[in-house]
Structure 1
């Protein structure tokens, strides 16, 4: 049974309000692994997993603030187009990987291109969205 610090292997599907699928481990062909309490999930989502066991399936509805949070205006940056080198297409809607201050790669979505200025949004693509997680628990250690 899932409790604090359980290592959990699960399949999940994230659905938007309109029923469309935003993300699914089934599409990737391999399940996700996580440890309850390690900070990779929101606390409210973890609370919904506690007590589930191998073989359980559950649909969890999360409000935006409990799922991926609300968009933060501080996560929107204006960058000089000359910083985009190589064959990278600088087009609105493109998701690109940027190197953050800590050296980790973070995804950013290009929101606007105006002359030499490129507006990049580093908020999670699902920030501000209410979502439904469908989970299937495969193993609990």
Structure 2
């Protein structure tokens, strides 16, 4: 059984993400369900993984990452301008609305409506937390929960 978070661990976490102004961007406790991440699968930034290494079940840890280590810097190339007529079928969205757009490769890309002007609509395809320093409050609920269940089954089976 794994005692602490390692480079390839699956980690069940409760977390809260807080922005510079103190606002909560996301909280698994609010949703009532922890999140499962696997280190080493590139779903987390290397800096975030580094903060989790060595933590044990029940550990709580608070840290802040700069934009380049969290969700990346805001990229101005990912801000696009559309004509209002491009929204003829869906209707003109409100500022702050998150919409799915079809990408060049046919994949869906979420975009946040940043501005609605007389002639154009500005859509930001950056991650909503890009460009922000993000504080993480994490609590390790379990480490390798699936592997432990398999291990227990093998021991008792």
Q: Same fold (TM over 0.5)?
A: yes
What is the alpha-carbon root mean square deviation over aligned residues? Answer: 1.7
TM-score by structure 1 length? 0.89
Max radius of gyration: which structure? 2
| Residue correspondence of structure 1 range 122-137 to structure 2 within 5 A | 122-137=125-140
List structure 1 runs of 4+ shifted beyond 4 angstroms: 85-89
Q: Return 5+ residue gaps in structure 1 as ranges.
A: none
2:21 corresponding residue in structure 1? 18
Structure 1 pair 44–96 and aligned structure 2 pair: CA distance change class (3 A): same
| In structure 2, C-alpha distance between the alignment counterparts of 1:87 and 1:56, rounded to whole Å | 47
TM-score by structure 2 length? 0.81
| Residue correspondence of structure 1 range 71-90 to structure 2 within 5 A | 71-84=74-87, 86=89, 89-90=92-93
Question: Is the strand fraction higher in 1 or 2?
Answer: 1
Q: Return 5+ residue gaps in structure 2 as ranges.
A: 145-157
Instruction: Find out whether 1:52 has 2:55 as its counterpart.
Output: yes
Give the total of aligned pairs: 141
Q: In the TM superposition, what whole-angstrom CA distance separates every residue of 1:74-105 from its partner, at most 9, and x where no partner exists?
A: 11111233333555551222222223334443
